[in-house]
Structure 1
Amino acid sequence: MRLPLLLVDPPLDPSGDEARSALRRELLKPEYHDTDVLGRVLDWIDHALDQTVDRATSAPPLSTFAAIVAFLLLGLGLAWLLSRVRRTSRLAGARGPVVEDRTVTAAELRAAAERALAAGRHGDAVVEGFRALTVRQVERGWIDDRPGATAHEVALSLAAAHPDQERRVAAAAGLFDEVRYGDRPANGDQAAEVLALDDALAGVRR
């Protein structure tokens, strides 16, 4: 009579309780409680890269190539992420007033925006165009003259005065901040849309 074969899990070394205790002791170390997340990520990447290079010396050429490509892609992704984080931080901390010169008129700002658009300076056209529509709405009494108002604050006032244009106003205000304070490039269509919004808010038909 043949007895059934029983599969028994091998004993854990260390045991489950010992492993949990070791993990708790490890997590109590100060290096796990700092706020330098980016530094830890970079340290991890550096360590992983060192291990990959060590293993690559004995790995087949195809595996080595694949590992190099993977780390290049990881590096590019990290660089893109860092650029986004820095741009967002700069934008969040550097937002300023829409109109800095309180003596300039809407007509002057609009003319400057049109010259910039014609010259291919689309970022300048966006900035001057949004300033033009802001000053024009103040001149016509649709919104209050609030020195130092940010694009977000201007957008809230414009949306209250022109609820049917709320979406376009919010988009133009966000674009103004990104171009003026976030160093984001703009294209011709975006600049033209800001000028078209100025016309729409002013009731101009083209």
Structure 2
Amino acid sequence: MTVTGGSAAAPALPRADDAPLDISRLPAREAAERELSKPMYHENDPNIVERGLDRFWDWVDGILHAASQSTPGGLVGLLAVALLGIALVAALWWRLGTPHRAPGATADSLFSDGPRTAEEHRAAAARHAIAGHWNQAVQERMRAIVRSLEERALLDHRPGRTADEAAAEAARTLPAHADALRLAARAFDDVTYGGRTADEAAYRRVEELDTALERTRPTLDSAPTGTPS
């Protein structure tokens, strides 16, 4: 039987080259990474310093967040604890003074500057006393004592000597003043290495010792202060 007239066209069958493209997951990811690695996608990226700072602040933020979670009162409680810690450190610093090395080391010698006479040290001590600088006045008066004993040959001239060593050596030829020499050396160490503050009374005691030593004759039968030959 022949069909005449306009009959409906049969639907076109898909060709082989029209089949949907099926790409596996791994090649697709690699293709995306290659595309995104192009410089045009990274023109506005932060530099290495900015990235490092971002990571640092993220780390700090994480620590603060964890601390605020474990501290009663949260962030406000954490700030209160921090302020309390700062106050305690400040109080200890004010009470104990700036940390110093213990006296007795080689670098902690009695004389820290060039050689000066006993009278020059006494004049410097008097100037500090007039200005109310009692720490410096005590230091200079103790230096005057030791320099005077060296000038009188009651102590040998030895660089690097400490105040304690000078007092112990001078006590051998001036035994009547042994206690006063030891106390003067301690006052020197306290203000020089211990962060303590001297007052006028402390300075006057060292000054009186200096005056008394000038009037004292040494004990000749005491042990010598120099190094045996």
CA contact (8 A) 2:134 2:198 kept: yes
Cα deviation, residue 106, structure 1: 0.6
Select the residue among 82, 102, 110 that pairs with 1:97: 110
Select the residue among 139, 162, 167 that pairs with 1:150: 162
TM-score by length of 1: 0.55
Cα deviation, residue 141, structure 1: 1.2
CA contact (8 A) 2:100 2:193 kept: no
Calculate the aligned-residue CA RMSD, in Å. Answer: 3.9
CA contact (8 A) 1:97 1:148 kept: yes
Select the residue among 189, 202, 205 that pairs with 1:190: 202
Does 1:161 pair with 2:161? no
Cα distance in 1 between the residues matched to 2:102 and 2:91: 15
Amino acid paired to 1:160: R
TM-score by length of 2: 0.50
In structure 2, relative to structure 1, the CA distance for the partners of 1:110 and 1:82 (3 Å cut) is closer
Q: What are the Cα deviations for residues 28-75 of structure 1, in whole angstroms up to 9, with x where unaligned?
A: xxxxxxxxxxxxxxxxxxxxxx9xx9899xxxxxxxxxxxxxxxxxx9
Q: What are the Cα deviations for residues 121-171 of structure 1, in whole angstroms up to 9, with x where unaligned?
A: 111110100011111111111111111111111111111121111111111
Q: SS where residue 182 of structure 1 aligns?
A: coil
CA contact (8 A) 2:125 2:137 kept: yes
> Which of 1 and 2 has higher RCO (CA within 8 Å, sep 6+)?
1
Cα distance in 2 between the residues matched to 1:143 and 1:129: 17
Select the residue among 107, 111, 120 that pairs with 2:132: 120
CA contact (8 A) 1:143 1:161 kept: no
Select the residue among 120, 123, 132 that pairs with 1:108: 120
CA contact (8 A) 1:127 1:180 kept: yes
In structure 2, relative to structure 1, the CA distance for the partners of 1:129 and 1:152 (3 Å cut) is same
In structure 2, relative to structure 1, the CA distance for the partners of 1:54 and 1:181 (3 Å cut) is closer
